Amino acid sequence: MPASGAKAAEALAAAIDSFTAAGIETPRLDAEVLLAELAGVDRAALIADREQTLEAPVARAFSEAVRRRLRREPVAYILGKKGFRHIELAVDRRVLIPRPETEMLVDLALEAGPASVLEVGTGSGAIALAVADELPGCRVTATDVSDGAIEVAVANAARLGLGERVDFILGSLPPGSADFDLILANLPYVPDSDGLPPEVGGWEPEGALFGGPDGTSVISAVLEGLRDRQISAAVIGLEIGQGQGERVSALLHGAGWPETEVRLDLAGIDRVVIGRGSRPAG
């Protein structure tokens, strides 16, 4: 671990060696991101001037960050934040860390150009707040069954100046019937039997990850709830996992969205299912 007066290059080399020995997949990236953030410099500047001397507080903070990362704590939790599209979100163990593939749901919102959006299972508020940020004329309602997640999302909205345009509701769905232009959801979709990397399974909230035996139980339950409460939208977009496109398309069709489309992520994996069409009442 770096001591006071250590060079950045020495501290990085030691951290990279430790991360590599621990089996961390991106040892250099993680070490550089952590040190750059703690030193208050751009990562590119850190790489360009690796001979800079670390001040004592930075060296101590980096040593602690390295110890936490060696316990496989995600970098985003160590730093307490994660970038998502054009916004930066505070994150901790009460919420999932936003992933790049989830941005596909925001892309769908930009395509649809809705005036009103319902997001189910908001977590840190990533989707809802990104939509509000990029579609200034849109009103967003966001729900989550976790009071801790709602606390994180509300704080993020306030910090980003978006609190007046996003309504956060504790619960699976809004009370009563309602019509929205678009419904978005990144619900738990990992099958219960799937093993997860230690950074995910050991740290992120289990209730936001696992979706039953085939990973679609929560999705199915939410679609039933939408139908029962007569909450409708012309378009719905759901994030899914590998191999779930056909199953979730069938669920959407049965819930009243007859036209479905499966979109793949950059790895060629089923990632978003879109349902379109008028929903019948009840």
**CA–CA separation, 124 vs 95, rounded Å?**
6
Contact 144, 121 (CB under 8 A): yes
**CA–CA separation, 181 vs 112, rounded Å?**
8
CATH 3.40.50.720 fits 84-276, yes or no: no
Cα separation values, 250 from 17, 216, 242, Å: 48, 11, 16
Q: What is the pLDDT along the chain (282 residues), one digit of tens a residue?
A: 454 557 889 999 999 999 999 999 999 999 999 999 999 998 888 888 767 888 999 999 999 999 999 999 999 999 999 999 999 999 999 999 999 999 999 999 999 999 999 999 999 999 999 999 999 999 999 999 999 999 999 999 999 999 999 999 999 999 989 999 999 999 999 999 888 999 999 999 999 999 999 999 999 999 999 999 999 999 999 999 999 999 999 999 999 999 999 999 999 999 999 999 854 433
**Domain residues of the chain, as ranges?**
8-71, 84-276
Strands of the 259-264 sheet, one edge to the other: 166-170, 139-144, 116-120, 178-185, 231-239, 270-276, 259-264
**CA–CA separation, 99 vs 199, rounded Å?**
13
The most distant pair of C-alpha atoms in the chain lies apart, rounded to whole Å, by 69
**What pTM was computed for the model?**
0.92
